[in-house]
Every structure is written in C-alpha cells, then in structure tokens.
Structure 1
Amino acid sequence: MALACAASLLLPVAAQAASTADAAASDTLQEVVVTAVHDHSPVQVVTDPKQPRQPIPASDAADYLKTIPGFSAIRSGGSNSDPVFRGQFGSRLPLLTNGTQLQGACPGRMDSPSSYISPETFDQLTVVKGPQTVVWGPGASAGVVRFDRLPPEFTEPGARLEASLLGGGHGRNDQTATLEVGNNQVYLRATANHSHSQDYRDGRGQRVPSAYDKWNTDVALGWTPDANTLLELSAGAGDGWARYGGRGMDGSQFRRDSWGLRAEKKHLTPWLTKLEAQVYSNKADHVMDNFTLRTPPTTGMMAGGMASSVRRTTTGGRVAATLEPGAGWQLVTGFDGQYSPHDMRKGTPADSYANKDWERNAKFANFGWFAELGWQASAQTRWVGGLRLDKAQAWRYATGYGGVSPIAADNERSKNAMPSGFVRWEQQLTQSTTVYAGLGHVQRFPDYWELISPGNSTANKGNAFTTLQPEKTTQLDVGAQWKGQGWQAWASGYLGYVRDYMLFDYMGMGSAVRNVDARTAGFELGGNYKLTPAWTAQATLATTWGDNRSDGRPLPQTPPAELRLGLDYYAQGPWTAGALWRLVAPQHRYALNQGNVVGKDMGASSGFGVLSLNASYRVNHQWKLLMGVDNLFDKAYAEHLNLVGNSGFGFPGNTRINEPGRTWWVRADMKF
C-alpha cells in the first residue's frame, strides 16, 4: 500500500471580506483533502498546514509548498527537497518558523532549511509573493514563507489532543501528535512527529535510493496574565537520516536544537497597539557520509568511506512596534538581526570525525531596520509601502581542518545600508472584485552557499568572495480576485529585472559563481466553481520565465508550466472524495551546465500527467479516516528540477531521478 496523507481539492480562501455564509462554506471546505491552495488576499496565501493534502502527506516544508501555485522543488529522492518559487530559491525565499530562521549547514544544501520543518506541527502557513513586505528579514526577492504556531486559547482549565497515523506503500508510516493543556493564564503545548519511508519504486519498477527517517518534538510554555499580554518560552529538537540517489553522500544525521523566547503586549495606548520582541537560537548539526547508508566506493577521492560533519548556529532577535495614529494609518517598525557561524570537520570509518576538533570556516551577520506603513485611504482603497535598510557581514577562514586560521584582510566583507522597499495599491472595484499593483526593490547580500561553498570561493582559491556583488531585484507585481455566486477566481503576475543575479557555472565536478543580469516574468491563475451543491471543480495554472541577459541564454533551473485540475465531492454527510489531475508541460528552455548550488540544467525535459484520487469518511466528531492513491496509472516520470542520478547506484550520467510509481495510503485523524 502506498502511503500518505491525502488531499482533495482546493481550499480556496476568499479574497478579503467574507459574509457569514461564505465563512460557513469555508469551514465546510476544511473537511476536504487539499490538492492546491488559492490566494487569500492581495499578494498573500494563507492556509492550514495541518490539513491533509495530496499527493502523499508532506514529510517536509518543500513537499507541502508544492501544493501552492508557483511553487516547485529541486528533487533528490524521497525527502528533503529544496523549495523553489517562481524559479527562485535559497535565501531569495526565506523560510521562517515562528518568526525565526534556521540555516542548513551542508555546503550543497543536503539539509535545506525546509528539511527541518514538519508542516503538520504548525497551525498556519503564510506566503507573501514577491518583494512586497520588509518586516520579515532581508533579501526576500522571491517572497517570504512563514510557518507559525498560534498560542492556544483557554477560557477555562482544559486539555486538547490532536493526533494522526498514516501508513502506505514503500514502508511509509507517519505519526503526529499535539497536546495542549492550560487555563486562561498559562498553557503548555507539546508537538511531536515521526516520518519514515523505505526506498520507493518508480513507474518502471526500478528501486530509487530514497529511504528516510526523521522526528521532531517541540514544547512551548506560555503565560497570558490578561487578554493583551503574552510571554512564551519554547524549545525543540529533531534528528533523522536520508538516502540520496542523486548525491555522492547520504545524510546520516539531521540534528536540530532550538530555543526561543517571545513577548507581546497589545493596546498599550490608543495609538501604540502592539509591542513585540523575541530572541532565538536554531542549531543544525548535520553529518553526511558514503558508508553508513550505502556501500562505499573502492576507487576515487572518497574510496573506503568519508564523512563530513558540519554545523551552523543561527542566533537572532527581533523587536517591532505597531502604531495606529488614526485616520486609517498603521505603521509597523522595528529592528531585527542574526549571527550565524559555520563549523566543519571530516573523518573516515577508521578515523571518526567525532575525534576531531571543530573548525570555523565561515561566519555571517545581518542587522536591519524596517518600517512598513499602511493607509486605508477609503473604504475601497488601500496603500501599503515599506522601507528596509540592512548591514550585512561575512567572514571566511582558511580550510585546513587543523583549527581556526586568522582572518586576512580580504577574508572579511561587509555592506552597509543596503536598501529594500516597496509600494502597493489595493482597490476594491466592486463588491466582488479586488485588484492590486505593487513595485518592489530588494538588495540581497550573497549567502553562505554563494560566497563559501563554490570551489572558486574558498579562502585558498579564486576571488569570488571579494568580487561577487549583492543581487538587486526590481519587480512589478499585479493581480486581481473575483468572487461570485458559487465561484471564485484569482490571478497574479510579475515582471522583474535582476541586476547582478548570482549564477552558478558547472565545470566537471566543480562549480563557480558569478554575477549576470537577468529578466523574469510569470503568472499564477486559479479558481473554483460549484457545479452542484455536492460537486466543486477547481483549477490552477502557474508558469514562469527567465532570461540571462548577460549570456543571451535562458535563466537555468526554471520550472515548466503546471496545470492542476481538481474535482471535490462533499454532500454534508460523512463521505468526501476528490481527484487531482496534475499536468506539467515539457521544458525546452534550459542553460546547459548552469544552475544553482544544488542543481544544474542537464537538458530539456518531457511533460507528463499524473492522476491521483482520495476519499475520506468521518466516523464521528473525534475520528476521521482518509485513503487515497497517488499516480494511479503508475506512470514513470521525472521532474525538470532534479538531481542527476549518482553512478554509485547504477544511474547513467545526466539521468534525472524518477518520481514514485503508484502509491496507496491510508490515514486516521483523531481529535479529543
């Protein structure tokens, strides 16, 4: 049986204002498995990551984000993909959990930040498209993704438990639980999850090295002496392992340790409506090797086995104030900062890395000020604008695995007062039609993978560390939303120019990074229509385009156009059902041997179509059963954004890794 948690059709969330009847309809739709997510408001998508979705339940953040139009992922097997939005990834698309950032440690992003996030343990997922906010950190040219846990509310002493169990094909089994205990002044919230899968087989029956096992647990203790005050202390940990058919090493450890403290006070004065502050620390301690989860090679540079142990600790804080002086004005302003050192060590089966000293090889820091101002000019018109200034610093250290080397003059970089900002107009044309247009600009400092990871950027090779310039993105975002009797529709589009885009050139086994100028464009469309009181049809379409103006070539790692068609059945009874037909176009625009730190273009890719089905039965208020099948016709296909299969597993060169074949799954949800 094939696994997972499933999904029916779209949970389209309405535009801005909703009537009581619309709200009731929205509550009803929450019973349906999610197969795609609609825009919630101008430039924003808001959804509930606890809802089961199809295809098979998400084991990490990238898996869940793929249900949102415009998102794709660089695939490398069963888990730990790297999310891509509108063809952009990495630090262009920051992923935040409860307002904090966790940076992965692997030089090749084997442990991307998304791999440490279990979506089902969070209450709310928010995506801001494009450079249309400045309050959530620097460099967000593609957008901002936020996974948040909301403080539980208790009017009297009580306890709540939510849990789910999932089983399916390829040995997939997941367990998730959330326990909340408290009263009107104090609460304790504990979440835990575990996800496991064996190697899957593709549509041709070929086994793909893709097994993984991961767990996470988090605890939050909160104090709410009154309705306007919150103080919360949190801590968490996680670990796991993963096999990668597209890499020369596997991940034998994905250790995460986190803690945080946040405070919030509302309605201090008639004009100071909120004051919030938080501090946090997130540590990723990652081990990759080629002997724990596979047979090591007998020849080559890593013959006999090799391990690399890397860690990165991101410590940061944020202070923000919300002011409402009246006349429709609202200002959010404050400061944020983070400090992030990176350490590493190596070993072999005979000479373990655990016996070596950690060596510092890089360190990053950022400090920023932000102000975002909104003005409700009339009942139908709203203006929003923001400004952000950042100071970024980076240090690199000579690599020798013998200790920390002194920093030379050319091994420190800084950039002061990097400006970012935007202005957006939102207009409600009629009771059912809303439009918006926004112009934004972002300056993004090179990240660890661009400054340190490439072969020409180490302390002893090349000069990219000193010559690579910050990326400067200017983008126009436009969109509209419509709502009628029994139907909803939305559209969003963008047109951007990127100066000093950071591009990777692959040469043999190595890569180099340089600046080029680029243009980007694309759109996302979506809608749903109630065919009958019980049947709803849904559709989304997303496409993106990129052009490398400096080289006269397409921008690499651009996902192809994707259409999703869905059909939901819900008749106010215990049964629901859904179907998802995913259609992906061929991609003929590529830049051979160019890409990013994770992947490169290896040529054109074929289009494909995949049909998936699901059904659910609500036993009672406490119990719900779900089942489904992904890739019903057992199609053999591969995503365009993919890693080349590793020859150590018998994959031919320049061959993309196929996705899972037919996969059955069942899931039980419990709520007490």
Structure 2
Amino acid sequence: MNMTSRPAGARTRLPVALGLALAAPLAHAAPADEARTLETLVVTAAAPSSPLHWVTDPRLPRQPVPASDGADYLKTVPGFSTVRNGGTNGDPVLRGMFGSRLNILSNDGNLIGACPSRMDNPLSYIAPETFDRLTVIKGPQSVRWGAGASAGTVRFERDTPRFDTPGLRASASALVGARDRNDQVLDLTLGNPTGYVRASGNRSEADDYKDGHGEVVPSKWRKWNGDVAIGWTPDADTLLEVSAGAGDAIARYAGRGMDGAAFERTSYAARFEKRNLPGAWETLQANVYDNEADHVMDNYTLRTPKPASSMPMPMASNVDRRTRGGRISAEWRWQDVQLVAGVDAEDSRHRGRSAMGRDAYRAVPWTKDAQFRRQGVFSELTLGAGTAQRWIGGLRIDRARVRDDRTAVRGMMMDMPNPTAGQERRQWLGSGFLRIERDVAAGLTGYAGLGHSARMPDYWELFSPDRGPAGAANAFAGIRPERTTQLDVGLQYKGPRLQAWVSAYAGQLRDYILFTYHAGGMMGSSSQAGNIDARIAGAEAGAQWQLSRQWTVGGTLAYAWGENTDEHRPLPQMPPLEARLQAGWEGRNWSAGALLRAVTAQHRVAIGQGTVVAQDLGPSAGFATLALNAAYRFSSQLQLSAGVDNLFDRAYSEHLNLAGSADFGFPADPVRINEPGRSLWMKLNYRY
C-alpha cells in the first residue's frame, strides 16, 4: 500500500524474512518523508533503523496473525508487550511502562480514549494497515513529539503522494483466518503533479476464539475505519493537505464487566509543509487536528446481565473525549549542524453520561468532568550530522493545566460532593536529553544517551481512582507529576552477512504513579493512586545471520525489571523475559519460515498493585509456542502469505492480563485469560 512513486522499471523485491525479520532494509534509516517499502514479506519482529529508532511498514503481513489494532502490531518491536483482555484492544506496554508514559500519535495528532479504565485506549482507534509507516522512539530520547513520553514515542504516519503525470495508485489486501476472522483493506490515490485525492479504509471482524483446551473465550469484534485526504502540491517542495476520517467498532471482553458497544471516531486535520527554503532554513511544517472519541460500554449488547453479578440489571455508560491541537516546527542546517525548533499546544475535554436500562443513557444530558490544556516549546540540536560522531540534544518546556469539573464523586454507598470541584492545577514541566552516537568501526555504531522527562498525571490517574494519597482529598488534589531520568546505551552492527544489536537502559522514577486495589480488586469499589520512587532497568538484543543465499536464522531477547524502592518490593506489571528464534528459507517465488517464541515464568510480582487497567494477579508460568508461515509471489504486485500460530495448540496465558469476568463463567478467584489455540490465516496483498 505504498503511495510513493517508484522509478520506471523498478522492481519490488519481496524476499521472505520469516520469524524475527531483522532484514537489511530494516537496519538502515530512511528519510522521514519516504515511505518504507520493506523487503520483508512476513514480519515477526523489527530491528532498529538507527539508535533507539525503529521504523517499519505496518501494511506488511505479520506473525502472529496480522494485527487488528495498533497495540497488536507493536508486539513485533522487541520490548513491547500488551495488557491482554481477550480478543482485541489490548493496552500497549513498553519496557514495563504503561499509559501516557507512551506518547502515541497518528498523523502527528493525539486521539485519546475516553473510558475511565482505558477500554478504548488510543491504539484501539488505529488500524495499522491504513498507515504507511510506523516509527518508534524508545526512552526519553526526543522532545519533538509532545510532553511526557518517558517510555517512548509511537508515530503512525501517512506519506505524501507525488505524481509526475496524472495517474491512479491502488493497493488492497484481504485476510481470512480461524474464528471467522476476515479483514479487508483498500487504499486509492488519484493525482497529478499539482494535487491528489487519497481514500483509505478497512474492515476487520472475528468471532470468539478457543484456547488450547478448546474452551471458548469471549473476544469477538467488528471494526471499520475510513479516511479521505485532499492535497495540493504546486511544486516538489510544497504541500497543503486537509483530511477527515471516521470509524466505529464493537468488542466483547472476557476480562471486563462491560463490553464496548461503540467506538465512534471522528477526525479532522490539516497540514502544511515547505522544503528547501532560502539559506540554511530547510523546512517549515505545521499541522492542526480535531479528534473525538465517543465510546459506549454496556452489559447487554454483547452479553446477558447476570442477576448474581455486581451489575445485575442492564446499564450503560457513554463517555466522550475531544482533543484539539497543533504544532509548528522548522529545521535549519549549517554543514554538519542541524537545528529543529517549534511550538505545540493541545486542549482536551472529557465528559460522560450513564443510566440503568437499555439505551436509557441517550436521554441523559452530558456532564463535563475534566479539562486538560497544555502549551509547549521545544528544540533539538545535532552536532556532527552526517559525520562519524554525532551529539544530539534537546530541551522542552511545557505549561500544563487541568481543571476538575466534577460536582460529585463516588462514595462507599452513594455519590458525595466533590471537595475539589472547580479547582485547577497548573504545572511547569521540563524535559530534555543528550546523546552521543559514534561509528566506532566499519558497520559498528555505539551510542549513549541520558534523558529526563516530567509528566503531568493523566485523566486515568487524576479522575479514575476512588482515593488519592493518604491525607489528600482525592487523587486530583494529591497526585504529583512523575519525573523520569534514564540512561540508554547500545551497539549496532551491520555486516554483509551478520546484523546484530543490543540496547540497555537504567532509570530512576521520582513520584511514580502507582495504583493499589483493596477488598475486591479491579471489580471492587476501592482503588487508590499514590506516588512512590522506583528504579527500572532492562535490555533488548537481536541478531540475524544469513547462512547462505536462501537460509537465514536469527533471534531477539527482551527483559524488563522494576523495583518499588519505597516499599522494597517489585514494581507491578513487568513483563517476563521473552525470546524469539527464527529460521527462514527463500526461493525465487516460494518462501517458508518458523518462529519459536519462549517466555519465562514471572515470580517478581506485587499482588494487588498495578495500573488503572490491570493489577498483578500473582506469579505466572512460562510457555513456548511455535508458528510456521509460507508465502508465494505471483508477481511484484500480487503476493499470497499464510501461517499457523500456536502450532501445537498450547493452552497458555500472558503475564500481563486481566482476570476473567464472572459474567462468562470464570471463577471468583482471579484467573488469567488464555490466549488463542491453534490458528490458521491466509492473506492476499495486491498493489497497482
């Protein structure tokens, strides 16, 4: 689905990279304005493109079965995991860090979910295959893309189509698989040298899956998205584009007391770009966006209320989050000195309504409960750009404001007056980093970077808990901003037959925001948020070795560790050690491969503590699964791929997981939700 033009006669090379896919095209950085037509046909993991930067093409088939949402696709990047709840819309975790510690952008705009327990996290509104490029920056090693990105930044991007002559470009894919999985994606662009119209859309559907024991796990979903962009390109250096999009979905959750009955998305955006400006001034970029998430959760559309449950009668909650913002930045270059500077701003409003009875909420007026505002200024400087040794540094200052518009809060038996009604919190936040990158030998690059990020507590930390720290009126009044200082180091080697990389990090978190659950846990009525100090550390590594022209082997390893230094116990919600090993064979048209994923047991837990979404349920067992895939290239335009996941039909569950809901027959004692059993899939890709 690459919308950029290729030189006449250029041939799209599609060798197989099966398993961990640490292929050479992934190991070289591409300019930010170029789409990445990768050689990999079936993606199972990505390698860094440059220090702490991962760039990949989210339109390519992947294993396990191609992703239904953004969080699912991110699992191909070592260090990422997902808080699972059965089926779709898991919550992304990078190096054990969760929520707004991970800055997520689509077309450089924020679309923030509305559910108080993140049923509709930001990635649940993103269809990966409708984007041209996925970029990941690990750690607090950039200040360009917004505040608070202590764990990292994720950008889903669409490229600018350029036409030398009038024409039409089209790409499409279709997927079928186990549990009635069927997906369709279509991307059409009509254009000429002075402009274009691009329309893209997708639909994804699946039924409940069966685990390795043959037991049905409630997990069905149905989604669609559609986006249209109109661009004006009067010359090769100028772009003015306006775009609009919409989407909706339903999703059943085995691990929640309610399901998602609506995930309505509306998006509007505009952007302007000008390149090759006079003198040292290289580019000017500006964008604005208006995104809204209108989410309905209920206990009757996709399930039947249970009289003995905590919600015996039909009920629904409708929440809405509208986020508006924009960004202006410019780049200058003087020989080997490069400077990026800019400003950005964001305004986000949250409101809700709820009622007992089927669809009774529609007659209830909206009530606003929170307003977030932020303005920021940033700058990044590179010394030695294009040379063997590069110093990169950045500074960012933000002014954040949050207002509590709740008139009442939930008490033990009934709603109580809100002691912080109408109050506003204001905070100056500073972030920055300094990194050195050095080419120490042919093909070998080393780097070390120290970053600091200050993060304002988000909606889920200020408004979702029942209580705040001891002595505070509530979480809004008592939760302090979180500050992270982290060291990142690593090495990358790119040789003719061997490619390898290793990265490690160690961080100190001041005022880390921790959730503690009492008397009933996640389904109970007592959650408390507070600040602690913590330490984190970990590493990721990967390698690929080309044994011969047709055979490759490789693997990745990821480990994360965290310690609550105030209480001298493990930090909760840390993923266990994970390894992936692959072997791939590639012929002229055929290819085949195998992927072994092994995860160790996790015994370092803090039972009853976690995040707004999940808590540690106890130790978890290790597991290993084997997946196979194969592909056939009919032509440079038409490819067929297929695979089988969990070949031996193992019954297993991920450590980061929700407990199964009693509404679906899960026991009262917390039990993790099992993953799908043996699953087959087949995908057809076409590009014109």
Normalization by structure 1: what TM-score? 0.94
Q: Which position in structure 2 is the counterpart of 1:50?
A: 59
Secondary structure at the counterpart of residue 62 of structure 1: helix
Answer yes or no: is 1:430 the counterpart of 2:426: no
Q: Deviations over 1:8-34 (max 9, x none)?
A: 441434687699xxxxxx97x724311
Task: State how 1:368-379 maps to structure 2 within 5 Å.
Answer: 368-376=376-384, 379=387
Answer yes or no: is 1:106 the counterpart of 2:115: yes
2: CA distance, partners of 1:374 / 1:608: 44
Answer yes or no: is 1:626 the counterpart of 2:637: no
1: CA distance, partners of 2:125 / 2:263: 8
Secondary structure at the counterpart of residue 170 of structure 1: coil
Q: Which position in structure 2 is the counterpart of 1:537?
A: 553
The letter for the 2-side match of 1:499 is R
After the TM superposition, which of the residue ranges 609-618 and 369-378 deviates more from structure 2? 369-378
Answer yes or no: is 1:357 the counterpart of 2:365: yes
Q: Deviations over 1:175-210 (max 9, x none)?
A: 001101101110111110000000000000000000
Q: Which position in structure 2 is the counterpart of 1:3?
A: none
Q: Which position in structure 1 is the counterpart of 2:264?
A: 255
Q: Which position in structure 2 is the counterpart of 1:23?
A: none
Q: Which position in structure 1 is the counterpart of 2:11?
A: none
Answer yes or no: is 1:346 the counterpart of 2:354: yes
Closer, same or farther: CA 31–473 of 1 in aligned 2, 3 Å: closer
2: CA distance, partners of 1:388 / 1:181: 40
The letter for the 1-side match of 2:562 is G
Closer, same or farther: CA 301–635 of 1 in aligned 2, 3 Å: closer
The letter for the 1-side match of 2:353 is R
Shift of the alpha carbon at 1:531?
Answer: 1.1
Answer yes or no: is 1:528 the counterpart of 2:556: no
Q: Deviations over 1:517-561 (max 9, x none)?
A: 000000000010001110111100000000000011100000001
1: CA distance, partners of 2:574 / 2:424: 30
Shift of the alpha carbon at 1:670?
Answer: 1.3
2: CA distance, partners of 1:211 / 1:464: 35
Shift of the alpha carbon at 1:299?
Answer: 3.9
Q: Which position in structure 2 is the counterpart of 1:444?
A: 455
1: CA distance, partners of 2:354 / 2:26: 52
Q: In the alignment, is the contact (CA less than 8 A) between 1:11 and 1:34 conserved in 2?
A: no
Q: Which position in structure 2 is the counterpart of 1:221?
A: 230
2: CA distance, partners of 1:56 / 1:560: 22
2: CA distance, partners of 1:54 / 1:557: 25
Secondary structure at the counterpart of residue 72 of structure 1: strand
Secondary structure at the counterpart of residue 385 of structure 1: strand
Q: Which position in structure 2 is the counterpart of 1:290?
A: 299
Answer yes or no: is 1:189 the counterpart of 2:198: yes
Alignment counterpart, residue 605 of structure 2, candidates 578, 590, 599: 590
2: CA distance, partners of 1:565 / 1:350: 50
Secondary structure at the counterpart of residue 59 of structure 2: coil
Secondary structure at the counterpart of residue 357 of structure 1: coil
Aligned residue pairs: how many? Answer: 654
Q: Which position in structure 1 is the counterpart of 2:88?
A: 79
The letter for the 2-side match of 1:637 is Y
Q: In the alignment, is the contact (CA less than 8 A) between 1:260 and 1:280 conserved in 2?
A: yes
Alignment counterpart, residue 36 of structure 1, candidates 14, 34, 45: 45
Q: Which position in structure 2 is the counterpart of 1:548?
A: 564
The letter for the 2-side match of 1:320 is S
Q: In the alignment, is the contact (CA less than 8 A) between 1:12 and 1:39 conserved in 2?
A: no
Q: Which position in structure 1 is the counterpart of 2:652?
A: 637
1: CA distance, partners of 2:408 / 2:536: 40
1: CA distance, partners of 2:310 / 2:607: 26
Q: In the alignment, is the contact (CA less than 8 A) between 2:78 and 2:558 conserved in 1?
A: yes
Alignment counterpart, residue 628 of structure 2, candidates 595, 603, 613: 613
The letter for the 2-side match of 1:356 is V
Answer yes or no: is 1:511 the counterpart of 2:511: no
Secondary structure at the counterpart of residue 73 of structure 2: helix
2: CA distance, partners of 1:18 / 1:464: 43
Task: State how 1:444-463 maps to structure 2 within 5 Å.
Answer: 444-456=455-467, 462-463=473-474
Q: Deviations over 1:290-347 (max 9, x none)?
A: 01110012245522211000000000010111122x1411111111111101010012
The letter for the 2-side match of 1:42 is P
1: CA distance, partners of 2:539 / 2:547: 26
Q: In the alignment, is the contact (CA less than 8 A) between 1:273 and 1:322 conserved in 2?
A: yes
The letter for the 2-side match of 1:579 is A
Alignment counterpart, residue 495 of structure 2, candidates 468, 477, 484: 484
Q: Deviations over 1:608-635 (max 9, x none)?
A: 0000001011122332111110000000
Q: Which position in structure 1 is the counterpart of 2:33?
A: none
The letter for the 1-side match of 2:438 is Q
2: CA distance, partners of 1:473 / 1:364: 22
Q: In the alignment, is the contact (CA less than 8 A) between 1:8 and 1:32 conserved in 2?
A: no
Answer yes or no: is 1:469 the counterpart of 2:485: no
Secondary structure at the counterpart of residue 558 of structure 2: strand
Q: Which position in structure 2 is the counterpart of 1:570?
A: 586
Answer yes or no: is 1:162 the counterpart of 2:171: yes
Task: State how 1:410-421 maps to structure 2 within 5 Å.
Answer: 411-421=422-432
Closer, same or farther: CA 7–166 of 1 in aligned 2, 3 Å: farther
2: CA distance, partners of 1:221 / 1:11: 36
Q: Unmatched 5+ residue regions in structure 1? A: 1-5, 20-25
Q: Unmatched 5+ residue regions in structure 2? A: 1-16, 31-35, 410-415
Shift of the alpha carbon at 1:379?
Answer: 2.4
2: CA distance, partners of 1:120 / 1:49: 5
1: CA distance, partners of 2:134 / 2:606: 33
Q: Which position in structure 1 is the counterpart of 2:182?
A: 173
2: CA distance, partners of 1:61 / 1:411: 36
Shift of the alpha carbon at 1:570?
Answer: 1.2
Q: In the alignment, is the contact (CA less than 8 A) between 1:15 and 1:481 conserved in 2?
A: no
Closer, same or farther: CA 479–350 of 1 in aligned 2, 3 Å: closer
Alignment counterpart, residue 683 of structure 2, candidates 650, 667, 670: 667
Q: Which position in structure 1 is the counterpart of 2:575?
A: 559
Q: Which position in structure 2 is the counterpart of 1:22?
A: none
Q: In the alignment, is the contact (CA less than 8 A) between 2:29 and 2:50 conserved in 1?
A: no
Answer yes or no: is 1:367 the counterpart of 2:375: yes
Closer, same or farther: CA 409–243 of 1 in aligned 2, 3 Å: closer
Q: In the alignment, is the contact (CA less than 8 A) between 2:346 and 2:373 conserved in 1?
A: yes
Secondary structure at the counterpart of residue 353 of structure 1: helix
Shift of the alpha carbon at 1:96?
Answer: 0.4
2: CA distance, partners of 1:378 / 1:46: 19
Alignment counterpart, residue 323 of structure 2, candidates 311, 314, 318: 314
Q: Deviations over 1:345-391 (max 9, x none)?
A: 01233561111111001111111110111111782100000000011
Closer, same or farther: CA 158–327 of 1 in aligned 2, 3 Å: closer
Q: In the alignment, is the contact (CA less than 8 A) between 2:293 and 2:322 conserved in 1?
A: yes
1: CA distance, partners of 2:373 / 2:365: 24
Closer, same or farther: CA 202–38 of 1 in aligned 2, 3 Å: same
Q: Deviations over 1:39-71 (max 9, x none)?
A: 110110011111110000100001000011000
The letter for the 1-side match of 2:376 is G
Secondary structure at the counterpart of residue 633 of structure 1: coil
Q: In the alignment, is the contact (CA less than 8 A) between 2:497 and 2:545 conserved in 1?
A: yes
Closer, same or farther: CA 300–539 of 1 in aligned 2, 3 Å: closer
Closer, same or farther: CA 567–399 of 1 in aligned 2, 3 Å: farther
Q: Which position in structure 2 is the counterpart of 1:381?
A: 389
Secondary structure at the counterpart of residue 317 of structure 1: strand
Shift of the alpha carbon at 1:408?
Answer: 7.4
The letter for the 2-side match of 1:500 is D
Secondary structure at the counterpart of residue 541 of structure 1: strand
Closer, same or farther: CA 265–279 of 1 in aligned 2, 3 Å: same
1: CA distance, partners of 2:417 / 2:371: 13
Normalization by structure 2: what TM-score? 0.92
